[in-house]
Amino acid sequence: MSVEALEDASAVRDDEGGKEPVDGEANPGDARAMNGGAAAVGRATEAGGAPVVAPQTVRELSNLMARASRDGRQVRFIGNATSLPPGYLDGPVDLVVSTRALDTVHAYDPADLTLTADAGVSLGQLERVTGDQGQWLPLDPPARARRTLGGVLASGAYGPLQGKFGTPRDHVLGLTLVTGDGRVLELGGRVVKNVAGYDLVKLAVGSGGRLGIVTSATVRLHPLPVRDVTLLYQTPRLALTVVLARSLATAPVRIPALELLAGHGEEPTVAVRLLGSPEAVAESERILNARVGRNASRRLEGETSVRWFAALERFEDDAAAVARVSHLPSRLGDLVEPAVECGTVAAHVSLGVLRVAVSGPGASAAVVSDALTRLRDGVAQAGATFRVSRANTPRWPAPEPATAPGVLALTRGIVDSFDPAGVLSRPAS
Amino acid sequence: MIAKAPRLSTGLAEELVRIVGDDAVITDPARLMVYESDGLTAYRYPPRAVVLPQDGDETARVVRAITAERVPFVARGSGTGLSGGALAVDGAVVVCTARMNRILELDLHNRRARIQPGVVNAHLTAATQPHGLYYAPDPSSQSACSVGGNVAENSGGPHCLKYGVTSRYIRGLDVVLPDGSRVYLGDRGLDTGELDLAGLFVGSEGCFGIAVEIDVELLPLPQATHTLLGIFERLEDAGRAVTAIIADGLLPAALEIIDQATIRAVEESIFAAGYPTDAAAALVVEFDGIEAGLEAEAARAEAACLECGAREVRRATSADARAALWKGRKKAFGAMGRIAPDLLVQDATVPRTRLPDVLAEIAQIGARYDLKVANVFHAGDGNLHPNILFDRRDAAEMERVELASKEIMRICVDAGGTITGEHGVGLDKRDYMSLIHSDDTLRAMESVRRVFDPAGLCNPGKVLPDRIRGMDPAGAGAVEAESARATVPAGAA
């Protein structure tokens, strides 16, 4: 099944309220029988595509997983299908479960700065709901607005704001997970501090759908900052930009977002986003400019600052493939040079993670795979990890990073305990 | 509750001495008494022996030697835990990390440190401060507790309102698993797409193995700090002030309340901090960060306190003056020793907006059981510490303490909260776990525990209720059989 087909399916929902089936609709009778009563809402356009079902309740979903587990059917999960990992829907898949019918915000208590919502609610929807109360969920993964809460939690995806606010694991207080065999587990809670038992929330977040499907979650919100300023420092030379970025990263100021962009059709750029009170933002700006001995090339404030970083959320949208390269932040310089040879680079400077967007939408598989291979080999010399997080080509030559045997054994044991019949992932070969 | 430990076999004793040297193996019953309790003094379990390895290699060999004889073991840091998590249940051998107290690497460029687990929390910050950095999690016991212990408990502290708890700052863990093998969990901050095993390990209360090297993230020191102390006539007004400050969009670094019973205990002790003893509550509010913005934020917080009925707000910016405002809060636990010989430090979290109701109910429970309850708590997080004062020699009072504790847990759970915010479940709260978790969830926890510790020798008897331990986690048959058993009344068989 192709990702495009699923994106079409989600587009139907966005534009027409989610009631219209997509092309090649499954025979509802067949799908219902197989899916424990959940109505099939679509089928991918490609021959052999699995039916897509959208359970309306957790119970329905639990029954469906219990049945799939008993019958040994391969199941995969999607939200709005904006950012599925490459290969996720490849191979024999019997059923795709969509969270689109789980789309309610259940509880929002602004005074407690917490919100509980279904997995199918998009971050864009959450932004509207919380924005009215002067609050936000400071989580800005690629394609943020279209992504569902469940999808973001499953993937663990994050963006520039991790510099201050952390990754999805740091935002989630609790969640409901339906396991591979249909157990409904309420993990964590709704309060901001909770150490009652092993932290299975951390395990579920970022597990890539290998343990089960997140059906709802409670997240911690923050007050919207009074002042939002973006500083853009541009230099003609990449090496200089790296030095500047590292100098900012080690300044005695906590920077909410610090990004380096290169190969994007402009001069290499360092982007700094500052959030807080007007006085604190102005003072941070002064400290940072003094540290690098110059003023920013451009200064954006308020809505324009928000928009600049919102545009960066679309960095991966048109790429044929996206690779993620990471190393210690101090090694940034060793990675940026080879990376910019292979594509457009956006780096989370203080984390040491580079995203490399390779080629445009029309690029051939050969071109994409050649660029990825060069990138992998280029950064391997520096000792960095490399993985492909998105690819529109069916094959790419870059292997996943090797996992240590001890970690692999633990991972397998854990995955088996949540998905004993192995319906959510094929065992690693 | 004093259990008797079995003796260490001669063979194992010799093997342990071979690995760590004879000065690092304790078997003398008199010396073992130090290790029979932790910060939760109501329980005593003398260990079979105590071993003090110096590094990860020694720890791995020690664990292999112990488990080869099917003897259980438990890791222990500084012994400041408040839930009995490090107690040597089942005649366990204590593997104490106290000698593993070296900072192995300070990587200033990347704001990280690699440390051994026995490093004392405050020592890490002291070592990094000269470089403009610090380690953010600051449990109240930070001058004694070890970072390894903080990892086991996922410890919080007054400043985690703004900065988050321990798990936020752990980049990776070099762990000795219960079978003695060694594995690196986490990604050192890298982006690997693996399961978050480091996140899972943090807060696993020593049941998944022993972290022998810890990679932590450090933060730049805040440029400045402003502290306020609000004095209130009514406890609920202080609670309302907390809500008002948050509603104003402020995010203080700390929001702490101490109640009248605690204020009086402090003021009557050698720690007297100058808090008025007729006040019903004192609220400590702290802001940190860039100097320029703090004055305005402190002014807004002061206004919020006054609007909520504070009769006085004191402000401080210098280190000495701030320390004076904090003194009553920081010395609260020490001061309570004046009131009663024993203190049960309770720990639960409720949604912040429920604080006033829950505090009122706790006061009623205390009155009903004729117990002194003194509250010191992280109000911004809704993390309560109702401290019950008692004398353990009074058996009837002990029983009332037990009943009152249970009721307090129940009302916190009913308010949408949880049974522990930062002290952990340990031995103490295993039986409360069913108040908040379904058996399915508890069994899922048990099955994950078994992945790490299939032999069941690592910190036995902790976190999960006994009826869950060893149960088959999945499979409808097992599930039904277990729930059927759980519903049979005791004695019916």
Q: How far apart are alpha carbons B386 and B420 in whole angstroms?
A: 12
- The domain A323-391 is classified under which CATH number: 3.30.70.2740, 3.30.70.260, 3.20.20.210, 3.40.50.300? 3.30.70.2740
Contact of B210 with B63, CB cutoff 8 Å: yes
Range of the domain at B442: 437-484
Contact of A218 with A190, CB cutoff 8 Å: yes
Task: Tell me how many domains chain B contains.
Answer: 5
Contact of B453 with B201, CB cutoff 8 Å: no
B251–A252 C-beta distance less than 8 A: no
Q: Specify whether B335 is located in the same domain as B228.
A: yes
A193–B422 C-beta distance less than 8 A: yes
Q: Which residues of B touch A352 (CB under 8 A)?
A: 110, 189-190
In a 10 Å sphere around its CB, with 0-12 CB exposed, 13-18 middle and 19+ buried, how is residue A397 labelled? Answer: exposed
Mean of pLDDT over chain B: 91
Q: Return the C-alpha torsion angle A423, A167, B171, A333, nearest 10.
A: 110
* Residue A244 backbone phi and psi in degrees, to 5: -65, -45
Q: How far apart are alpha carbons B246 and A326 in whole angstroms?
A: 37
Angle between helices B439-452 and B476-487 (to 10 degrees): 120
SS3 B98: coil
- How many other C-beta atoms can be found within 10 angstroms of the C-beta atom of residue B240? 20
pLDDT-based confidence at residue B470 (cuts at 50, 70, 90): low
Q: How far apart are alpha carbons A284 and B79 in whole angstroms?
A: 41
A109–B351 C-beta distance less than 8 A: yes
Q: Which residues of B touch A66 (CB under 8 A)?
A: 476
User: What average pLDDT does the segment B456-469 reach?
Assistant: 93
Of B204, B194, B133, give the one whose Cα is nearest residue B167. B204
Q: Is residue B489 part of a domain?
A: no
Strands (E), B78-127: 93-96, 103-107, 112-115
Is B338 an 8 Å CB contact of chain A? no
* Residue B343 backbone phi and psi in degrees, to 5: -140, 125
Q: What is the pLDDT of residue A45?
A: 39
Residue of B nearest to A283 (CA): B292
Asked if residue A42 has pLDDT above 90, the reply is no
Residue of B nearest to A279 (CA): B293
Class of domain A105-223: alpha beta
Q: What is the pLDDT of residue B7?
A: 87
Q: What is the pLDDT of residue A397?
A: 57
Q: Which residues of A touch B447 (CB under 8 A)?
A: 417
Is B192 an 8 Å CB contact of chain A? yes
pLDDT tens for each residue of A66-77:
999 999 999 999
Q: What is the pLDDT of residue A359?
A: 80
- According to CATH, the topology of domain A3-98 is 3.30.43
SS3 B201: helix
At position A367, the amino acid (one-letter code) is: V
Class of domain A227-312: alpha beta
Q: How far apart are alpha carbons A287 and A291 in whole angstroms?
A: 6
User: What average pLDDT does the segment B217-221 reach?
Assistant: 96
B422–A196 C-beta distance less than 8 A: no
User: What residue ranges do the domains of chain A occupy?
Assistant: 3-98, 105-223, 227-312, 323-391
Asked if residue B353 has pLDDT above 70, the reply is yes
Q: Is residue B176 part of a domain?
A: yes
Q: Which residues of B touch A252 (CB under 8 A)?
A: 132, 220-221, 223
pLDDT-based confidence at residue B212 (cuts at 50, 70, 90): very high
Residue of A nearest to B417 (CA): A191
Q: Strand A51-53 and strand A95-98: pairing?
A: parallel
Q: How far apart are alpha carbons B27 and B49 in whole angstroms?
A: 5
SS3 B434: helix
Q: Specify whether B310 is located in the same domain as B328.
A: yes
Q: Which residues of A touch B154 (CB under 8 A)?
A: 195, 199
Q: How far apart are alpha carbons A90 and A95 in whole angstroms?
A: 12
pLDDT-based confidence at residue B39 (cuts at 50, 70, 90): confident
pLDDT tens for each residue of B68-88:
999 999 999 999 999 999 999
- High-pLDDT (> 70) share of chain B, %: 93
Q: Specify whether B17 is located in the same domain as B83.
A: yes
Helix (H) or strand (E) holding B443: helix B439-452
Domain boundary among B200, B220, B240: B220
Asked if residue B489 has pLDDT above 70, the reply is no
Q: What is the pLDDT of residue A338?
A: 92
User: What average pLDDT does the segment B152-180 reach?
Assistant: 95
Q: How many residues does chain B have?
A: 493
A207–B353 C-beta distance less than 8 A: no
Strands (E), B249-337: 254-259, 281-289, 310-316
- How many other C-beta atoms can be found within 10 angstroms of the C-beta atom of residue B270? 9
Contact of A416 with A426, CB cutoff 8 Å: no
pLDDT tens for each residue of A124-182:
999 999 999 999 999 999 999 999 999 999 999 999 999 999 999 999 999 999 999 99
Q: How far, in Å, are B43, B119, B130, B133 from residue B127 at the CA level?
A: 35, 11, 7, 9
Asked if residue B5 has pLDDT above 90, the reply is no
* Residue A151 backbone phi and psi in degrees, to 5: -65, -40
Q: Which residues of B touch A156 (CB under 8 A)?
A: 196
B442–A196 C-beta distance less than 8 A: no
Q: Which residues of B touch A251 (CB under 8 A)?
A: 220
User: What average pLDDT does the segment B260-269 reach?
Assistant: 92
Q: Return the C-alpha torsion angle A249, A385, A311, A350, nearest 10.
A: -10
Q: Give chain A as a 3 state SS string.
A: CCHHHHHHHHHHHHHHCCCCCCCCCCCHHHHHHHCCCCCEEEECCCCCCCEEECCCCHHHHHHHHHHHHHHCCCEEEECCCCCCCCCCCCCCCCEEEECCCCCCEEEEEHHHCEEEEECCCEHHHHHHHHHCCCEECCCCCCCHHHCEHHHHHHHCCCCCCHHHHCCHHHHEEEEEEEECCCCEEEEECCCCCCCCCCCHHHHHCCCCCCCEEEEEEEEECEECCCEEEEEEEECCCHHHHHHHHHHHHCCCCCCCEEEEEECCCCCCEEEEEEEECHHHHHHHHHHHHHHHCCCCCEEEECHHHHHHHHHHCCCCCCCCEEEEEECCHHHHHHHHHHHHHHCEEEEECCCCEEEEEECCCCCCHHHHHHHHHHHHHHHHCCCCEEEEEEECCCCCCCCCCCCCHHHHHHHHHHHHHHCCCCCCCCCCC
Asked if residue A253 has pLDDT above 70, the reply is yes
SS3 B339: coil
Asked if residue B37 has pLDDT above 60, the reply is yes
- Give the single-character DSSP code of B2: B
Q: Which residues between 391 and 450 in chain B have a beta carbon less than 8 angstroms from any beta carbon of chain A?
A: 416-425, 429, 432-433, 436-438, 440-442, 444-445, 447-450
Of A374, A379, A242, A384, give the one whose Cα is nearest residue A321. A374
Q: Specify whether B252 is located in the same domain as B350.
A: no
Q: Specify whether B422 is located in the same domain as B477.
A: no
Domain boundary among B73, B96, B119: B96
Per DSSP, the residues of B346-413 read --EE--GGGHHHHHHHHHHHHHHTT-EEEEEEEGGGTEE-EEEEE-TT-HHHHHHHHHHHHHHHHHHH
Distance between terminal CA atoms of chain A?
Answer: 22
Of B282, B284, B276, give the one whose Cα is nearest residue B256. B284
Contact of B234 with B281, CB cutoff 8 Å: yes
Tokens representing A107 are 């509880």
pLDDT-based confidence at residue B486 (cuts at 50, 70, 90): very low
At position A20, the amino acid (one-letter code) is: E
Q: Is residue B5 part of a domain?
A: no
DSSP-H helix ranges across B51-210: 56-68, 121-128, 147-153, 160-163, 197-201
Q: Is residue B284 part of a domain?
A: yes
Domain boundary among B49, B65, B96: B96
ipTM of the complex: 0.92
Determine the residue among B188, B196, B255, B353 to mutate to test chain A binding: the one whose Cβ has the most chain A Cβ atoms within 10 Å.
B196
pLDDT-based confidence at residue A7 (cuts at 50, 70, 90): very low
Q: Phi/psi class of residue A209: alpha, beta or left (left: φ > 0; alpha: ψ in -120 to 50)?
A: left
Q: What is the pLDDT of residue A121?
A: 98
SS3 B97: coil
Q: Which residues of A touch B244 (CB under 8 A)?
A: none
Q: Is residue B1 part of a domain?
A: no
Poorest-pLDDT segment among A298-312, B229-243, B272-286, B464-478: B464-478
A207–B219 C-beta distance less than 8 A: no
pLDDT-based confidence at residue B440 (cuts at 50, 70, 90): very high
A186–B447 C-beta distance less than 8 A: no
Is B202 an 8 Å CB contact of chain A? yes
Asked if residue A31 has pLDDT above 50, the reply is no
In a 10 Å sphere around its CB, with 0-12 CB exposed, 13-18 middle and 19+ buried, how is residue A197 labelled? Answer: buried
Q: How far apart are alpha carbons A428 and A153 in whole angstroms?
A: 22
pLDDT-based confidence at residue A19 (cuts at 50, 70, 90): very low
Asked if residue B64 has pLDDT above 60, the reply is yes
CATH number for the domain that contains residue B29: 3.30.43.10
pLDDT-based confidence at residue A43 (cuts at 50, 70, 90): low
Vertex A105 angle, CA A101 and A108, to 5°: 170
Q: Is the pLDDT higher at A165 or at B327?
A: A165
Poorest-pLDDT segment among A54-58, A305-309, B119-123, B375-379: B375-379
Q: What is the pLDDT of residue B15?
A: 97
Mean of pLDDT over chain A: 87
Q: Specify whether B28 is located in the same domain as B83.
A: yes
pLDDT tens for each residue of A280-299:
999 999 999 999 999 999 99
Q: Is residue B301 part of a domain?
A: yes
Q: Specify whether B323 is located in the same domain as B351.
A: no
Determine the residue among A155, A198, A403 to mutate to test chain B binding: the one whose Cβ has the most chain B Cβ atoms within 10 Å.
A198
Q: Specify whether B129 is located in the same domain as B197.
A: yes
Contact of A401 with A361, CB cutoff 8 Å: no
Q: Is residue B2 part of a domain?
A: no
**Which member of B160, B194, B196 has the closest CB to residue A202?**
B196
pLDDT tens for each residue of A324-372:
999 999 999 999 999 999 999 999 999 999 999 998 777 888 888 889 9
Shared fold status for A227-312 and A323-391: yes
CATH number for the domain that contains residue B415: 3.30.70.2740
Q: How far apart are alpha carbons B387 and B140 in whole angstroms?
A: 15
Q: Specify whether B345 is located in the same domain as B422.
A: yes
Q: How far apart are alpha carbons B152 and A198 in whole angstroms?
A: 10
Q: What is the pLDDT of residue B473?
A: 46
Of B323, B318, B158, give the one whose Cα is nearest residue B253. B158
Distance between terminal CA atoms of chain B?
Answer: 28
B223–A328 C-beta distance less than 8 A: no
User: What average pLDDT does the segment B38-55 reach?
Assistant: 92
Q: Distance from B142 to chain A by nearest Cα, in Å?
A: 18
CATH number for the domain that contains residue B283: 3.30.70.2190
